Amino acid sequence: MATETFVLPGDTIDAGVLPSHPTQPLKLGPGLRHIPPNTITSTVAGQLCTDKRKNAVWVEYNGSRYIPTVGDLVIATVQKSGLDYFYVSLSDYTSNAALPQLSFEGATKKTRPQLSTGALVYARVTLANKHMDPELECVSSPTGKSEGLGPLNGGMLFSISLGMARRLMLAKPSEQGDLVLLDVIGEGGVPFEIAAGRNGKVWVDSKHIKTTLAIGHAIQDTDTKSLSTEAQKKLGKKIAKDVKDL
């Protein structure tokens, strides 16, 4: 169970509030910086959250600027291709990240993917610090499998707040608070796929462009207008009804 404390940028995190585990190392999430040997400071204002079960600590915030953090799942847009890397954009406020062309499941120099400018990729951040550009991967290093990472074909990309991105990425619907929109659309018999990135992006794909646009805009409206549970249910049912008429 996570606990929360409000922190400001530059605050030193009291060791007494940090979780401890007999075998797992402490995991630092977004909004925190480790200063050797033992100092941890906040880089943003928000709720300091700790999870004793996972031995993790992070700061929940809803700023407009994405700061890459190791382990984040992101949706990247290819800007150009070099000899060994794809150079991709994560947001308007960060420098391009490097994605090794062999960092895909089963990729070799002959079989590596050919990604053109504007192509979308679901990737994981593997390197993130203020002295170097971020680096990404589209394969799990331990298993060699993509595990859902890789090129996102078709569909459309929508911008959302960092807070909404985190809500969409929570594993259990019960952890997402009052976010019920997508459940209602799915229960209405509408087939669709989404991929959410911690960098404030969500990719949506469905059988019809009209449906894709409707779902993407509905997610944005739920985010920007803070739609209530009832308003989300009404909107989700309307989308499901409209799809049946296509």
Q: Can you give the pLDDT at residue 171? A: 53
Residue 246 has pLDDT above 70, yes or no: no
Q: Can you give the pLDDT at residue 184? A: 94
Q: Can you give the pLDDT at residue 1? A: 41
Between 144 and 168, name the one with better pLDDT: 168
pLDDT tens digits, 223-240: 999 899 999 999 999 999
Q: Residue 73: name the closest of 183, 182, 147, 159 by CA.
A: 147
The arithmetic mean of pLDDT across residues 70-99, rounded, is 92
Q: Which residues contact 2 (CB under 8 A, 6 or more apart)?
A: 49, 50, 51
Q: Can you give the pLDDT at residue 174? A: 47
Q: Can you give the pLDDT at residue 65? A: 80
Q: Can you give the pLDDT at residue 57? A: 87
Q: Can you give the pLDDT at residue 209? A: 94
Q: Can you give the pLDDT at residue 245? A: 67
Query: Cα separation of 87 and 52, whole Å?
Result: 37
The full set of domains in the chain, from first to last, is: 2-60 (2.40.50.100), 73-153 (2.40.50.140), 157-244 (3.30.1370.10)
Residue 96 has pLDDT above 60, yes or no: yes
pLDDT tens digits, 13-38: 998 888 888 788 888 887 888 888 88
- 3-state secondary structure string, 185-215? HHHCCCCEEEEEECCCEEEEEECCHHHHHHH
Between 210 and 246, name the one with better pLDDT: 210
pLDDT tens digits, 211-222: 999 999 999 999
Judged by average pLDDT, the poorest of 37-41, 75-79, 167-171 is: 167-171
Query: Per mean pLDDT, which of 77-81, 129-133, 161-165 is the most reliable?
Result: 77-81
Between 188 and 143, name the one with better pLDDT: 188
Q: Which residues contact 199 (CB under 8 A, 6 or more apart)?
A: 66, 68, 72, 74, 75, 76, 90, 91, 162, 165
Q: Which residues contact 16 (CB under 8 A, 6 or more apart)?
A: none
Confidence of residue 109 (pLDDT cuts 50, 70, 90): confident
Residue 130 has pLDDT above 60, yes or no: yes
Confidence of residue 3 (pLDDT cuts 50, 70, 90): low
Residue with tokens 């019809």: 208
Residue 186 has pLDDT above 50, yes or no: yes
